[in-house]
Structure 1
Amino acid sequence: MKNHEMILNDYAKLCVKVGINIQKGQPLVINAPIEGIEFVRLLAKNAYELGASEVHVNWNDEVLTKLKYENAPMEVFENFPSWYADSLEDFAKKGAGFLSISAQDPELLKEIDPKKIAANNKSSSIGLKEFRKYTMNDINPWCVVSIPTKSWAKRVFPNVSEEEAVEKLWAAIFNATRMDLENPVEAWENHMDNLKEKVDFLNNKKLKSLHYKSSNGTDLMVELPENHIWAGGGATDSKDVYFAPNMPTEEVFTMPLKTGVNGVVYSTKPLNYGGKLIDDFKLTFKDGMVIDYDAKVGRDVLKDLFDIDEGAKHLGEVALVPFSSPISKSNIIFMNTLFDENASCHFAFGKAYPTNIVGGENMTDEELEKHGVNNSLTHVDFMIGSEDMSIIGETIDGEKLQVFENGNWAF
């Protein structure tokens, strides 16, 4: 029987071996909360054992982040530090892998001036635009994982002690990442194969549209661009190395046609955006653009998201996730997109992954635009799946295909 420390080390190994798939002589950059220092040390240890040339860590701290928002003037948030973007680009050019630990308190910035948050979101999106080409185009391997922090754990499990909340969140994370199974690496390989079967099926069908309907009022038609590509599970970087961008992952995804989204869609889970929650929101689309919206929680935050640029009002991702996924079955609202998006079908506002269209990774922004690919400084996932969701696809030959029925795969 493995103890917690042994499972933790195995989890760290899974992150760098399966997640990043670190290669001999390759640098690794880790973005992490300072509260996770012991786990980061395990990540570094395992990365070096697998041949990493260097492990560089960019630390973040919630207390310092909140102090900054409370005290720093607006111009600080309007100007993203070029040295930070330059350092990431430098590592990217050296072929580094990028591992991010997503573990933020979803209500950290609840009382903060939303104008400061909006300014920071916009300036960081602009500042990191060049760097993000390396990850959005899968030039470099990248992976997002998670660990509990005390503040996040208490948001998820508010009715137990801090210590018990952290233990419960660890258990939920281990379950979602298959770490509670006898052989997690083998389990991940089998899971990737299952997702690939769905990907291959959808790519062979050559769909031109998807029609979403739910009893909550969702009725949305999504057109797909010609030569779109479905993906899921893992990806391949520019050196033909296979990696897993998200752990956990349950999604199969592609891009929508920028101008081809029409109808109404309702959110089904809270969205943590920039330290503030958006919940219970409704979106109306016409010719691909959000023309009307409302939210019971965080409407002003949603508005700030849409104000980043024109592309933020369009969709950049269409992702299919069965309602019966392990994360959905846990009945836990994580208030963390890494987990909640893998419990529910979802879309993303903003930039599409160029790898979701044939030859897209080699196209200019102008060429992508001609192919109906959305471009934006942002990419924000939001959840729309439900237990009665129906998705009917139509192929380029006019064949109707039940893709989802009662929230789950129909094939």
Structure 2
Amino acid sequence: MDPRIREHAQTIVDHSTDIEAGDNVVVHMPSEAEDLAVALHELIGDRGANPVFLTNSDRAERAFLRAREDEFDTPAHKLALYEEMDVYIVARSGGNVSEKADVAPETNAAFRRAEQEILHERLSKTWCLTQFPTTGHAQLAGMSTEAYQNFVWDAVTLDWDAQKEFQQQMVDLMNDADEVRIQSGEETDITMSLAGNETINDYGEANLPGGEVFTAPVRDEVDGDVYFDLPLYRYGREIEGARLTFEDGKVVSHSAERNEELLTSILDTDEGSRYLGELGIGMNRAIDQFTYNMLFDEKMGDTVHMAVGSAYAECVGEENEVNESAEHVDMIVDMAENSTIELDGEVVQRNGTFVFEEDFE
């Protein structure tokens, strides 16, 4: 076994989840990530915790979705498992990243709605989402298998204490602000209220790798236009050139240069899917290549991302409404050129450089 796999597992158990004796742990990953699952089970055993191993398959899920097609039930036995667990560890992997590309968008939306209660239960526990490098994701990223393995494991084993300290500077600025304005190029100019909400420092716990700070905007106080100039991969298909216009928090018009019908189906999932659930600022400069994998891409330095759909409840203050949705879809704006982030009218990032960095101008 590659020693970096054991190091990856160690980071998950010690840093990301802090597994203790007696914890009920669900390890959920495809067969391609079996080595990581084995390494995790060794460490979980050492700590006296109790693992359940679930193998997921995009091929199997595709077969189910295409056979069912219509409304889905929330499976009580699956929900019961997550109600009894303490820690959830899931890895993205798999051979064919487009396996579910021919599942109808409305079927995906119906399935997501049925799984919403299960998702809420999972997110209420300690959890970690990570990546195991496979040839399918390497191909999607346009990298050799070896280069992609190096990319993933270098990102996973970052000095997370140093990254936390760097990012906390932006957290403090955002937590002191009531309003943020993001401008980029000629098409993105959006303002949103942060009043009463909290910004979170993501340094490799729930997401591994981490490398962002994120919050939830006040649900009904988002206005303006956004052009997402970096593409995203969703349900095995690529959405390019997405444009959203917000009024009083809600998406009132949208378009995309590629797969607009998929974007429409996402926004039509439920009432909450037309509202913004997250604003994130990418701050991990060790992730320096776009890979069509949001777990990495949203953390890149010189980017911001916004997610339509559900908000993370821990970001939302008691006086504000938590946006709820079966969807949470991140989309990215490149902030490297002709871009600014303002907090209460003061520029805190210009062309990807933060005000607390030496070369800020």
Is contact 2:82-2:122 (8 Å) kept? no
Identify which of 135, 139, 143 aligns with 1:150. 135
Partner of 1:212: 182
Cα deviation per residue 1:269-325 (whole Å; 9 max; x = unaligned)? 222222222121111111111111111122111111111111100001111124x72
CA distance in structure 2 between the partners assigned to 1:351 and 1:250 by the alignment: 20
Structure 1 position 216, deviation (Å): 4.8
Partner of 2:340: 390
Is contact 1:216-1:266 (8 Å) kept? no
Q: Name structure 2 gaps, 5 residues minimum.
A: 357-361
Partner of 1:255: 216
Identify which of 46, 50, 56 aligns with 1:49. 46
Identify which of 269, 281, 294 aligns with 1:337. 294
1:103 counterpart = 2:96: no
CA distance in structure 2 between the partners assigned to 1:63 and 1:231 by the alignment: 35
Is contact 1:269-1:340 (8 Å) kept? no
Q: 2:224 aligns to what SS in structure 1?
A: strand
CA distance in structure 1 between the partners assigned to 2:249 and 2:84 by the alignment: 36
1:125 counterpart = 2:118: no
Is contact 1:268-1:386 (8 Å) kept? no
Identify which of 153, 162, 167 aligns with 2:146. 167
Identify which of 102, 122, 126 aligns with 1:141. 126
Aligned partner of 2:351: which letter?
N
Structure 1 position 134, deviation (Å): 4.1
Partner of 1:233: 202
Structure 1 position 346, deviation (Å): 0.5
Give identity over the alignment, percent: 23
Query: 1:16–1:233: structure 2 CA closer, same or farther, 3 Å change rule?
Result: same
Matches for 1:174-189 after TM superposition, within 5 Å: 174-177=153-156, 179=157, 187-189=159-161
Identify which of 80, 84, 106 aligns with 2:78. 84
Cα deviation per residue 1:199-240 (whole Å; 9 max; x = unaligned)? 23432x2x121111111511111122x321111125xxxxxx
Aligned partner of 1:209: which letter?
E
CA distance in structure 1 between the partners assigned to 2:161 and 2:278 by the alignment: 25
Q: 1:60 aligns to what SS in structure 2?
A: coil
Partner of 1:74: 69
Aligned partner of 2:18: which letter?
N
Cα deviation per residue 1:91-117 (whole Å; 9 max; x = unaligned)? 2xxxx111111235442223x1424xx
Q: How many residues align?
A: 352
Cα deviation per residue 1:310-351 (whole Å; 9 max; x = unaligned)? 1100001111124x7221x2x2x2211111111131111111
Cα deviation per residue 1:93-151 (whole Å; 9 max; x = unaligned)? xxx111111235442223x1424xx323433333342x433454xx4211111012222
1:15 counterpart = 2:5: no
Point out the structure with the larger helix share. 1
1:351 counterpart = 2:310: yes
Partner of 2:359: none
Q: 1:100 aligns to what SS in structure 2?
A: strand
Query: 1:103–1:188: structure 2 CA closer, same or farther, 3 Å change rule?
Result: same
Identify which of 388, 396, 403 aligns with 2:348. 403
CA distance in structure 1 between the partners assigned to 2:8 and 2:130 by the alignment: 10
Structure 1 position 80, deviation (Å): 4.4
Aligned partner of 1:409: which letter?
F
Is contact 1:262-1:288 (8 Å) kept? yes
Which segment drifts farther, 283-292 or 119-128? Answer: 119-128
Aligned partner of 1:215: which letter?
G
CA distance in structure 1 between the partners assigned to 2:205 and 2:151 by the alignment: 20
Query: 1:260–1:152: structure 2 CA closer, same or farther, 3 Å change rule?
Result: same
CA distance in structure 1 between the partners assigned to 2:43 and 2:353 by the alignment: 37
Partner of 1:270: 231
CA distance in structure 2 between the partners assigned to 1:44 and 1:304 by the alignment: 39
CA distance in structure 2 between the partners assigned to 1:349 and 1:230 by the alignment: 17
Aligned partner of 1:325: which letter?
R
Is contact 1:255-1:353 (8 Å) kept? yes
User: What is the root-mean-square deviation of aligned Cα atoms in Å?
Assistant: 2.2
Aligned partner of 2:120: which letter?
K
